Amino acid sequence: MAVRKKGGKGGKVSRSEVVTVRLDRGKGGKLSRSEVVTVRLDPRLRYGVELAARKHRRTASSFIEWAIERALQKMVIREGVGEYQGSVTAEDVLNKVWDVDEPDRFAKLAINFPELLTHEEQILWKLIRECGALWRGHWEQHGDRELWAWEISERYLDLEQLREHWDTFIQTAKGYLTSEGLPHWDRDRPADDLDAPPF
């Protein structure tokens, strides 16, 4: 692990320091399971990190990683509701939604913790949850027509379809593409048609 800091002009640190933390977990110097994170700390806090790291006999980078893990365990995201009897921490959320595939973890986050979505993510999620081609649903009869209906739940989301069209949903949410490029499905049909998926 390594920590690299940058100061102001002339090597002086006026108000803050940019600290680059390299969290190495791979072997042979490869960062196969790590990321490089850059944070800005004021000089006093940066020095505090050094002192705490000395106490723990860690490098500054190792101490920052440890401190983040502790913070995730203590940070309450939601009070006890649903399947959890106690408060839900950031670590609980991470354990529930983490997946190596971005579409999968985004869907898990949106379904289970929608209050954590940013404005941009809410736009993306609206496109996904309103796209019937992504959901395993059923036909509901309305007069002489049947409408394709679905429940917003992990068990009914077709993750393969979401992964296949993920980039299209991203670009549409950002306004670079129109909704015409999203997966198509038949929204309704005559009530006497065979019971088949609409896509």
Tens digits of per-residue pLDDT, 54-108? 999 999 888 999 999 999 999 999 886 555 567 899 999 999 999 999 999 999 9
Which structure tokens are listed for 94? Answer: 């991470």
Radius of gyration of the chain (CA): 24
Q: Is the model more confident about 23 or about 185?
A: 185
User: What H or E segment, with its residue span, contains residue 140?
Assistant: strand 138-142
Per residue in 19-56, pLDDT (tens digit) is: 777 655 444 444 446 788 888 889 999 999 999 999 99
Q: Within a 10 A sphere around the Cβ of 162, how many other Cβ atoms?
A: 21
